[in-house]
Amino acid sequence: MKFIGTRGTHKEKTFSEVILDPAAPNGGLYVPKKFPKINEKWLLKYYDVMGERPYTHIARGILKLFKIDIDEKLIEKALFTYLKNFDTQEVVPVVRIKEGLFAGELWHGPTRAFKDMALQPFGVILSKLAQERDENYLILAATSGDTGPATLKTFENRENIKVVCIYPHEGTSEVQKLQMVTTDAKNEKVLGIRGNFDDAQSALKNLLKDEDFRKILKENEIKLSAANSVNFGRIIFQTVYHFWAYLKLLERLEIEMGEKIDVIIPSGNFGNALGAYYAKKMGLPIDKIVIASNKNNVLYEFVTYGKYDLRDKNLIKTISPAMDILKSSNVERLLFDKFGENRCRELMENLENHGYFELKPEEHEKIKEDFIADFATDGECEEIIKRYVNEYNYLMDPHTATAIKAYEYLSEKGQLDKKVVAYSTAEWTKFAPSIYYALTNEDLDREIAEVEEKTISDKDAIAYIEATLDEKAPEMIRELFEKEINETVINKDEIKDEIIKFIAK
């Protein structure tokens, strides 16, 4: 398989080349030149009446379709992380919540969020490639809360790898922050910035194309890569679980072969949704891909109105912080696929230079062929969390709640009339205070002066939920509160200098 850039490319690249160096020419992103196709015969090959085939069997089949230039033994080692580091044999349980609605739980990995689904195998492949080439790599990760912990976990103490994780100092949950600032791996550096996720992501993108920065890295014999979903090594693994979920519904006789389903995805940087779109493009019977947003609803506006408008918009802090994003990188890959290189470049340059682009009516219709969208307020998410615990005995985090709110609203409007898989992207333990306030009906108005007096710690909220709902937080979450904290907080304009100091050690 060959890869090309969304804004033009100097030459085609292989999979191993684009995961090691994800910065495409002209500020673009790498995408496959051509996608493989599947049909019902292919699905029947992986259809397992007894449900005994492991998740790795499906993942292996998808990677084989892409014909990536990675040795089979290395692929097997990478996929083994699903069996070794996840707390369930299924890897991604597909849980029936009620008639017609299923939760695809993507958070059973070591950091309890869906980013482990891609980053666990990705880390094995990238670090091994670096060792085989006798090259040293700096991996950059910008995070709104989940990519950071997952990146740090997969690369901790790996040879030939250094990692710098950039996160908004006041823009994650306490547990998410602790997962980052308690790392004791010598090859990793965590930088909290006084800013938001968009600032962190912009810094990462600028460093990827900063020739002076690359020159300094070269002098230190270090190459540059990234763990964000700008790297297609992330996206390829995010297509797999959509196939898995469909096959699970088949195995349980919830659907018939070829029957279309709808999927709902809590969306921030659009990588998870892009994986669903690519799966559909490959032939998986998906009808609508529902984009669920929080109050930072630029993706809702993009899908619903065909406009991406950042003018006069400020990032809003919500109880679903991993989705507190305005600049969703992977929309570019969708624009390229729908409209081609020239139009994609035009739209993205308008967004970068003017903070705005608008699709033509016929272009917007092409987006609506595959996508619909909704968004949820914090209050709506809290109501969903409490009601689903009481009515269905299903506990979800605030990000998943945005997906369930979209399910209810769009079903009522008649826009969803098929079996639905709503993807659950994080475990409740990562956002326990929000769960606590939802369950107790205490008003968590972050604007009022008394908020500090009312705020409960993550540790206490977890204890309350464990006692009240008979839930059990995993040990990797519990032990965070006892670990030593090593926190570095800087201004946005200090990122480059801090990284240079780190790699010079």
CATH of the domain at 275: 3.40.50.1100
Give residue 442's pLDDT: 67
d(CA 505, CA 500): 9
Length in residues, the chain? 505
pLDDT of res. 448: 40
Neighbours of 368 (CB within 10 A): 13
pLDDT of residue 90: 95
Range of 330's domain? 94-111+235-426
CB atoms within 10 A of CB 492: 15
322 assigned to some structural domain: yes
Nearest Cα to Cα of residue 464 among 437, 436, 427, 428: 436
pTM: 0.94
Whether 478 is in a domain gets the answer no
- Whether 14 maps to a domain, the answer reads no
Q: Is residue 365 part of a domain?
A: yes
Evaluate whether residue 263 is within a structural domain: yes
Residue 468's pLDDT is 95
DSSP 86: S
pLDDT, residue 23, reads 87
Give the pLDDT of residue 171.
86
pLDDT of residue 450: 39
pLDDT score, position 443: 54
**Is residue 352 in some structural domain?**
yes
In angstroms, rounded to a whole number, what is the distance separating the alpha carbons of residues 463 and 457? 10
Which tokens in the block code for residue 278? 């690519």
Residue 447 lies in a domain: no
Of 40, 41, 36, the closest CA to residue 62 belongs to: 36
Let me know if residue 379 belongs to a domain: yes
Residues of the chain below pLDDT 50: 444-454
| Domains in the chain, number | 1
